[in-house]
Structure 1
Amino acid sequence: MSRVLYVICCGAFPSENAHELVEPAQADGWTVCVLTTPYGRRFVDVPRLERLTGFPVRSEYKQPGEPDALPMPDALVVAPATVNTINKWGAGICDTVALGYLVEGYGLGLPTVVVPHSNRAHMAHPRFQQNLALLRSWGVTVLLDGPREPKRLPWRMVLDAVNERYAARDA
């Protein structure tokens, strides 16, 4: 079975271009599954992503006893990652399926890459900066932790970082 990459999208405009990460990741040999925060779901093209990946886009926890619709991840990418998600992740809060996988990912030792995305005022908050430092101390790769242009992320840079992290875990 191929490597499984979970792409987690939060409620920010770059999420509408998540396919620009999914397609090259698949070309690099990843099986890709997309999860979103509940608000992030509003930004993604759910039908397009489900067609591309062959999996449902998850934004809610499954029901007890319901089988898993997604294979277990081998690596995680959170892009774009909002201040809200980063701050909750740093606190270990699992009130969304996306956060549940992020918190669990640490315990499983999954290679994880995050691209924070928000405005300058949000990103200046001391707790946010502390949580970025905390994530780094846990081994999370934090890319581009300054304010972002509204709609574009360097998806190839993100994919290169996760490929590097995944390769390094076996070295």
Structure 2
Amino acid sequence: MTRTLYLFCSAAPPVFDVAQVIEHAQAGGWDVCLGLTPAAARWLEAGLDGLAVLTGHPVLWEYERPGDPGVWPPADAVLFAPATFNSVNSWALGLTSSFVVGVAAEAIGKRVPTVTMPCVNAAYAQHPQFQRSVETLRASGVTVLNGDEGYVPNGSGGGGRPGAFPWGLALGAVEGAGT
């Protein structure tokens, strides 16, 4: 039986590895639907058609119009990675102006197993709202892979390194999140 994974990505350097992540998830039996923040969609703009072919689904980054039929099957799990400072805080605060943040917020209420791995620099990780947001998401049932149990923030302004993000850990957490 094929399971459906909603893979949501923010605009952080690991997003450039998303095709490999999709292939890895597909090899594990997942039907992957890719959703992006608007900034991540701009970063990947040249490859969006190829990513749609790879997943077999349209890549989404905007809300559909009311009344439009949904184009994705229902999610069995959600993985939001990389999740930026802005996305994590918006999600925890219920600020759903971004399609992927809105769907991730709904996943909590629908009790869809949800995992996130923030990708923030060390300065953002020290901001008090970020810590509150991580706690809020965890209290809501979201598996948050941050710090020692996930992504270790890089130095302020370091920009991150594609290929160094622990995608395998994130996908493994989805497998273990009750799916």
TM-score scaled by length of structure 1: 0.92
Shift of residue 20 of structure 1? 2.0
Match of 1:157 in 2: 169
Match of 1:96 in 2: 98
Q: Of 113, 119, 133, which residue of structure 2 is paired with 1:111?
A: 113
SS state at 2:172 partner? helix
Query: What 5-or-longer segments of structure 1 have no aligned partner?
Result: none
RMSD of aligned C-alpha atoms? 1.4
- Are the aligned partners of 1:4 and 1:75 in contact in 2 as well (CA < 8 Å)? yes
Q: Which moved more, 1:30-39 or 1:1-10?
A: 1-10
1:32-111 matches, within 5 Å, as 32-44=32-44, 45-111=47-113
SS state at 1:49 partner? helix
Match of 2:16 in 1: 16
CA distance in 2, matches of 1:64, 1:141: 31
Shift of residue 42 of structure 1? 2.1
Letter in 2 for 1:18: V
Match of 1:140 in 2: 142
Shift of residue 31 of structure 1? 0.6
Query: What 5-or-longer segments of structure 2 have no aligned partner?
Result: 155-159
Alignment: residue pair count:
167
Question: What percent of counterpart residues are identical?
Answer: 40
Structure 1: which 4+ aligned runs deviate by more than 6 Å?
none
Q: What's the CA shift string for 1:135-154, capped at 9, x where partnerless?
A: 11122111133314332312
SS state at 1:89 partner? helix
- Are the aligned partners of 1:12 and 1:43 in contact in 2 as well (CA < 8 Å)? no
Letter in 1 for 2:176: E
Shift of residue 19 of structure 1? 1.4
